[in-house]
Amino acid sequence: MALDTARLLITCPDQRGIVAAVTGFIAENNGNVLELDQHTDPDHGEFFMRLEIELGGFGLDRSTFASAWQSVAERFDMRWRVCWSNETKKMAVLASKASHCVTDLLWRAKTGELRVEVPCVISNHPHLAGVAESFDVPFHHFAVTPQTKAEQEQQIRDVLQRVGADFIVLARYMQVLSPEFVQAYPERIINIHHSFLPAFAGASPYQQAYERGVKIIGATSHYVTDQLDQGPIIAQSTLPVGHRDTVDDLIRKGRDLERVVLATAVRLHTEDKTLVSQNKTVVFD
């Protein structure tokens, strides 16, 4: 059984003494560091760190941490966040018709492999109502046309707000979100693209891959930004294909990739193991 922890994530300009100052602060407050991971980006002089501190015995909690920590954070000009492993995140799932990613995520949530609560599945099609129901997750169907797009997004955002979604997973949701939507959830919307980005961005990537005659296909999970298929990549995976594979075979093989790559990205996000900078991710796993 994993111990409950505080997860402290830090980004700041690199300089001497950061690690000593941070770990000294933890030690002064009687905290036990279970994991420490650190990285320096030599190109931009940027420092990244993630610590997991055992909650048992730690002298600070969510009501007292920020004020105690303030002086260290200011001294090093840090962007930082602290997350508490015993606060289960709420993951909203957006999907269209394809069931493989949704089914997989709901199964992982239900069995506890992913430590998340799923307050809703939202779709622009009715097809996945039965899947959501079989996992006892509320399902919302908001149809969309080019004319009703703004209105439909508002319906979605109303649900997200009402259920208190912490982050959103686009589990093969086949609509492009508006910039306003994306900006409301910075680094908190995770998409799965069914190709090895940046190859085959845009629509019908398996068809594109088939036509190009590649010998490997891939899948990419990334944070969503204003730029379609251009956000920071969290996880990727590939597998071999051959001349015997039709587009349908690529789609079938790709489903196995997509499920695992998306689940990997969601796990990393849920465990607070990602930091974003320069449109890239640092993944402390």
Q: Which residues pair with 39 in a beta bridge?
A: 48
Q: Are 2 and 8 in contact (CB under 8 A)?
A: no
How far apart (Å, rounded) are the C-alpha atoms in residues 238 and 219?
7
Residue of the chain from 12, 26, 91, 95 that contacts a second copy (CB under 8 A): 26
Q: By C-beta, is 124 or 281 nearer to a second copy? A: 281
Residue of the chain from 4, 13, 19, 164 that contacts a second copy (CB under 8 A): 19
Stretch that binds a second copy, among 61-69, 74-82, 105-113, 149-157 (CB under 8 A): 105-113
Residue of the chain from 4, 13, 35, 138 that contacts a second copy (CB under 8 A): 35
- Contacts (Cβ under 8 Å, ≥6 apart) of 144: 124, 152, 175
Binding to a second copy by residue 143, rule CB under 8 A? no
Q: By C-beta, is 68 or 150 nearer to a second copy? A: 68
Phi, psi of 266 (to 5 degrees): -65, -40
Q: By C-beta, is 92 or 235 nearer to a second copy? A: 235
Binding to a second copy by residue 268, rule CB under 8 A? no
Q: By C-beta, is 18 or 120 nearer to a second copy? A: 18
Run of H or E including 248? helix 247-270
Taking the CA atoms of the chain, what radius of gyration do you get in angstroms?
21
Binding to a second copy by residue 55, rule CB under 8 A? no
Helix (H, G, I), strand (E, B) or coil at 222: strand
135-174 b/e with 16+ CB inside 10 Å = b? bebebbebebeeeeeeebbebbeebbeebebbbbbbbbbe
41 annotated active-site: no
Q: Which residues are catalytic?
A: 229
**Interface residues toward a second copy, by CB under 8 A:** 16-21, 23-24, 26-27, 30-42, 99-100, 103, 107, 111, 113, 134, 196-200, 212-216, 218, 232-238, 242-244, 246, 252, 255-256, 260, 263, 278-283, 285
